[in-house]
Chain A
Amino acid sequence: MKYKGNILEVNNLTLSLLDKNGVPVTILNDLTFHLRSGEILGLIGDSGSGKTMTALAISGLLNDFAHIDSGEILFEEEDLVKKAPRERRRLLGEKIGVIFQDPSSALDPLQTVESNLQEVLSIRNCSKEESRERILRMLATVGFEDPEDIAKRYPHRLSGGQRQRVLIAGAALMNPTLLIADEPTSSLDTVTSMSIMHLLHEMSHEMGISILFISHNLSAVRNFCDRVMVMKEGTIIDSDTSWDIMGQPKSAFTADLLMKSRLDPKTLGISRGKTNPDGPVVLEATRLTSSYRYKDVRRNKTNAVIKNINFKIHEGELVGLIGSSGCGKTTLVKTILGLLKPSSGEVSHEGRIAAVFQDPVSSLNPAHTVRWHLREALKASGRVISKEEQTAYFISILEDVGLTGKHLYRFPHQMSGGQRQKAAIAMCLVQEPSFIIADEPFSALDASSQASIIKLLSDINKERGTTMLIVSHNLQVIRAMCSNVLVMDKGSIVEAGFTDDVLENPSAEATKALIEAGEYGG
């Protein structure tokens, strides 16, 4: 029997977080909203606006540094703030399900998928056979074709999208009345994220689950949520049905957020890179195949992740590489960079290659300043610049990427995600590469930072003439900035050519699917 009326009411919730010096900082300020039974409510805002804290406060997973100062959280008319921690934990297993942003480490690496999911049912006194059967059925429900195989796997043998599906299966297994989804798709590619949203939508309708859907991407929730709230600095500043909010945003902030999340080339001030089909070839891959060998209990097989890849990139081109997750994009990048040895075929390139990776947090050394990173990059490139001139040179590079001289002595943790990514790009520039590979350089960033990194890479291509290969699942970005496009599917390049030719007249099924998903979510 599902609950009728407002399943969740948050009234005047104020929450503060202790900073490094133990001084409380207000994160949620007099937050008030409600969620009707069976409704999907979107909560949108930039990073740092308090979205995740809202999710954690409702689910009762706040850490020791957070403190609820005042207000109430009514779940089925009972105030959660007043409940004892034990009771709240029990509620989590029974009525409130949570899925989080980053599925990469959200499953215990030492346990199989089945064992990870089994714990949901273990507190419900399910027999072994029954719980096994329910797990397999749920895995099929969330879209796995071979649930038996998935159940036996360990998390490191699943892709990001597959892990998120497993986590959704976990949340759905407990048959909750409320599901809190905190950016469940932002680390996934467009096609996967569309299917995850479809799945959540279906579950909400079939099982009557109310969903609080948190995202930083306004247009992504357009077709998905019944209502949308926009959050800024810990309060709701705008709230309406999703259609109205997209059509006529009431506040300037919402309008701005909407524009940024659309990544419109005009407002970003970028134009497409130039094609150069007759220019010298900078990078060429011939019959490139790379494979991972891994153990399988039943079949001992080698898995070719990329197969027979052929392409040429000419000087000055800005090439986009698109494809759904697990299609082998990252493996291709690793093979080009020489981090993986190809099992057959070869890559040849002219000049120096530099790389920018998806996650600027883990690609910088937390123990060192930006200056150290730049010097390392300089050393690696073999260029020699005298000590006296180094500082001035580094500052000029930092200014080129939109940072300032004061960032030279910052540690990675003292900068935002966007600034860190800029520092990583500065490390590339210091090496004066003829070719830059950027593997999903925007996807870990919020909308505003994304826009600035896109602009920066596009400018570097134009002003310095650096050839680039940009891997992204964001079709809008690729369309806006790239001269050429490579489309990958299941380890092969299925389509390649000028951006317009490929995206306006797609011939491969994979390209069509990507374009469709891009229009839905983006």
Chain B
Amino acid sequence: MSSTVRATLTKVCEFLLTTLLVSFFTFAAFSIIPGDPARIMLGTEASEEQVEQLRVELGLNEPLAERYVKWLDNAFRGDFGTSLSFNTSVGDLISSRLPVTLGMSLIALIIVLLVSFPMAAICSKRPGKPLDKALSCAGHILFAIPPFALSMMLILFSANVLGIFTAGRYTAPSVNFGSYLSSLLLPSFCIALPKIAMTFKFLRASMIEYSQGDFVRTAKSHGLTDLRIMMKHIIPNSMVSSVTVISLVLSDIMGGSLIVEQVFNLPGLGRLLLTSIARRDFPLLSGIVFYLALITVILYFLADLISALIDPRIRDRRNV
């Protein structure tokens, strides 16, 4: 068996193991927290019999391990149970809300990358010069504004002044993909802005470091123009160190969508999560938390794969 295949398989096994652990901890967390879910759901007015009946219905009387295996078995088939407050399958609920959050996160990521890479490249060219200072300062300000404040300012500005956006209007991608995208654009922008600042700061530092590096000097001595050196050497090298940061940013973006969905009144996972907490809807809550955790694990897995793809040294190290 070739060592590349073996290394990839190891990585996949690690990924599966992490997912399993995540699922267990999600499940255990909701079982261990104090309070009887059945009692909380039914309220203090309900009689003991009613609570007991619900406990049986939810399978709360069985031992934790048994319940976990059952839950896992169901989850494996995509069945996370039935939401108590919506009375529909948790899986259906999540999959109807996922396009909003995922779409928004992806658009936000694209905006982050499209803006921060050129910005960092420009600043790293002449660090400490007025343009660098101005852009860095703008980055700090963006970083400091809380997303909800930014969202509200943007809504007011775009709806009232520009008149191009109606807050709270959402079209499903299956209905009209164009208006789906346009309804997500502004919220994505709100999530992206603070993250641009973060990614930019990191990229700028690593690009400055690389642009003073020895291999850049070699490339200059080979007569390459600054633009080609940037594209061929500096950007790919700073990609290696930024892949991890970008995956962190992306999982942060997913988390950040919670508030923005609320402000923009979008039917995403974040809002569903808030609802499930408010209504003590445990099957739904554990389903969403598991999904979010799974997405994060997938992101880190992808980040690892991508950095190995870019950097031959990581590929070699992995096989040692």
Chain A interface residues (CB < 8 Å from chain B): 59, 61, 63, 86, 89-94, 97-100, 102, 104-111, 116, 119-120, 123, 154, 156-157, 167, 170-171, 174, 292-295, 300
In the complex, which residues 112-132 of chain B have their Cβ closer than 8 Å to any Cβ of chain A?
none
Q: How far is the CA of A109 from the CA of B239 in the complex (A)?
A: 13
In contact, B222 and A174 (Cβ under 8 angstroms): yes
Residues of B within 8 A of A170 (CB): 218, 222
In contact, A105 and B215 (Cβ under 8 angstroms): yes
In contact, B237 and A100 (Cβ under 8 angstroms): no
Tell me the smallest distance from the CB of B251 to a CB of chain A, in Å. Answer: 25
Decide: A110 near B221, CB < 8 A? Known: A102-B214, A105-B214, A293-B320: no
In the complex, what residue of chain B is closest to A89 when comparing beta carbons? B223
Residue of B215, B237, B311 near A106 (CB, 8 A) is B215
Q: How far is the CA of A109 from the CA of B237 in the complex (A)?
A: 8
Whether a CB of chain A sits under 8 angstroms from the CB of B312 is yes
Q: How far is the CA of A106 from the CA of B228 in the complex (A)?
A: 17
In the complex, which residues 188-230 of chain B have their Cβ closer than 8 Å to any Cβ of chain A?
212-215, 217-225, 228
Decide: A123 near B311, CB < 8 A? Known: A100-B214, A106-B217: no
Instruction: Supply 6 further A-B pairs (C-beta < 8 A) apart from A120-B223, A170-B222, A295-B4.
Output: A93-B223, A98-B221, A108-B233, A110-B310, A156-B313, A170-B218
In contact, A100 and B236 (Cβ under 8 angstroms): no
Residues of B within 8 A of A111 (CB): 232
Decide: A294 near B316, CB < 8 A? Known: A92-B222, A93-B222: yes
Decide: A110 near B223, CB < 8 A? Known: A293-B320, A295-B319, A300-B2: no
| Subset of 25 A-B contacts with CB under 8 Å | A61-B217, A63-B212, A90-B223, A91-B223, A92-B222, A93-B223, A94-B223, A97-B221, A100-B217, A105-B213, A105-B215, A106-B214, A106-B217, A108-B233, A108-B236, A109-B215, A110-B312, A111-B232, A119-B224, A170-B218, A171-B221, A293-B320, A295-B315, A295-B316, A300-B3
Q: How far is the CA of A111 from the CA of B219 in the complex (A)?
A: 12
Chain B, interface SS category:
helix
Residues of B within 8 A of A102 (CB): 214
Residues of B within 8 A of A109 (CB): 215, 237, 311-313
Decide: A93 near B224, CB < 8 A? Known: A106-B217, A107-B218, A300-B2: yes
In contact, A119 and B219 (Cβ under 8 angstroms): yes
Whether a CB of chain A sits under 8 angstroms from the CB of B72 is no
* Binary contact track B237-273/A, C-beta < 8 Å → 1, others 0: 1001000000000000000000000000000000000
Residues of A within 8 A of B219 (CB): 108, 119
Q: How far is the CA of A59 from the CA of B222 in the complex (A)?
A: 11
Q: How far is the CA of A90 from the CA of B228 in the complex (A)?
A: 13
Residues of A within 8 A of B316 (CB): 154, 156-157, 294-295
In contact, A89 and B312 (Cβ under 8 angstroms): no
In the complex, what residue of chain A is closest to B213 when comparing beta carbons? A105
In contact, B217 and A174 (Cβ under 8 angstroms): no
Residue of A63, A123, A171, A295 with most partner-chain B CB within 10 A: A295
Q: How far is the CA of A90 from the CA of B224 in the complex (A)?
A: 8
Tell me the smallest distance from the CB of B275 to a CB of chain A, in Å. Answer: 46
Residues of B within 8 A of A93 (CB): 222-224
In the complex, which residues 266-320 of chain B have their Cβ closer than 8 Å to any Cβ of chain A?
310-313, 315-316, 319-320
In contact, A119 and B232 (Cβ under 8 angstroms): yes
Q: How far is the CA of A91 from the CA of B237 in the complex (A)?
A: 26
In contact, B223 and A294 (Cβ under 8 angstroms): no
Q: How far is the CA of A174 from the CA of B222 in the complex (A)?
A: 8
In contact, A89 and B220 (Cβ under 8 angstroms): yes
Q: How far is the CA of A106 from the CA of B2 in the complex (A)?
A: 31
Q: How far is the CA of A378 from the CA of B218 in the complex (A)?
A: 42
In contact, A110 and B237 (Cβ under 8 angstroms): yes
In the complex, what residue of chain B is closest to A85 when comparing beta carbons? B226
Q: How far is the CA of A86 from the CA of B220 in the complex (A)?
A: 11
Decide: A92 near B223, CB < 8 A? Known: A105-B213, A109-B237: yes
Residues of A within 8 A of B221 (CB): 59, 61, 92, 97-99, 171
Residues of B within 8 A of A110 (CB): 236-237, 240, 310-312
Residues of B within 8 A of A91 (CB): 223
Q: How far is the CA of A191 from the CA of B233 in the complex (A)?
A: 32
In contact, A154 and B320 (Cβ under 8 angstroms): no
In the complex, what residue of chain A is closest to B233 when comparing beta carbons? A108
Residue of A61, A86, A108, A293 near B237 (CB, 8 A) is A108
Q: Which 3 A-B pairs have the closest CB atoms?
A: A93-B223, A98-B221, A154-B312
In the complex, what residue of chain A is closest to B210 when comparing beta carbons? A108
Tell me the smallest distance from the CB of A305 to a CB of chain B, in Å. Answer: 13
Residue of B215, B225, B237 with most partner-chain A CB within 10 A: B215
Residues of B within 8 A of A157 (CB): 316
Residues of A within 8 A of B232 (CB): 108, 111, 119
Tell me the smallest distance from the CB of B310 to a CB of chain A, in Å. Answer: 6
Tell me the smallest distance from the CB of A96 to a CB of chain B, in Å. Answer: 8
In contact, A92 and B220 (Cβ under 8 angstroms): yes
Residue of A89, A116, A167 near B225 (CB, 8 A) is A89
Residues of A within 8 A of B312 (CB): 109-110, 154, 156
In contact, A108 and B222 (Cβ under 8 angstroms): no
In the complex, what residue of chain A is closest to B240 when comparing beta carbons? A110
Residues of B within 8 A of A61 (CB): 217, 220-221
Q: How far is the CA of A106 from the CA of B222 in the complex (A)?
A: 12
Tell me the smallest distance from the CB of A319 to a CB of chain B, in Å. Answer: 30
In the complex, what residue of chain B is closest to A153 when comparing beta carbons? B312
Residues of A within 8 A of B240 (CB): 110
Residues of B within 8 A of A116 (CB): 215, 218
Q: How far is the CA of A106 from the CA of B219 in the complex (A)?
A: 9
Residue of B214, B225, B319 with most partner-chain A CB within 10 A: B214
Tell me the smallest distance from the CB of B237 to a CB of chain A, in Å. Answer: 6
In contact, A100 and B218 (Cβ under 8 angstroms): yes
In contact, A123 and B214 (Cβ under 8 angstroms): no
In contact, A119 and B222 (Cβ under 8 angstroms): yes
In the complex, what residue of chain B is closest to A154 when comparing beta carbons? B312
Q: How far is the CA of A154 from the CA of B310 in the complex (A)?
A: 12
Residues of B within 8 A of A89 (CB): 220, 223-225
Tell me the smallest distance from the CB of A153 to a CB of chain B, in Å. Answer: 9
Q: How far is the CA of A105 from the CA of B237 in the complex (A)?
A: 12
Q: How far is the CA of A495 from the CA of B152 in the complex (A)?
A: 79
Residue of A86, A104, A120, A295 near B222 (CB, 8 A) is A120
Q: How far is the CA of A154 from the CA of B212 in the complex (A)?
A: 21
Tell me the smallest distance from the CB of A163 to a CB of chain B, in Å. Answer: 10
Residues of B within 8 A of A120 (CB): 222-223
In the complex, what residue of chain B is closest to A99 when comparing beta carbons? B221
In contact, B215 and A107 (Cβ under 8 angstroms): yes
Residues of A within 8 A of B222 (CB): 92-93, 119-120, 123, 170, 174
Tell me the smallest distance from the CB of B152 to a CB of chain A, in Å. Answer: 43
Q: How far is the CA of A108 from the CA of B240 in the complex (A)?
A: 12
Q: How far is the CA of A104 from the CA of B215 in the complex (A)?
A: 9
Q: How far is the CA of A293 from the CA of B3 in the complex (A)?
A: 10
Tell me the smallest distance from the CB of B306 to a CB of chain A, in Å. Answer: 13
Q: How far is the CA of A367 from the CA of B221 in the complex (A)?
A: 33
Residue of A108, A116, A170, A174 with most partner-chain B CB within 10 A: A108
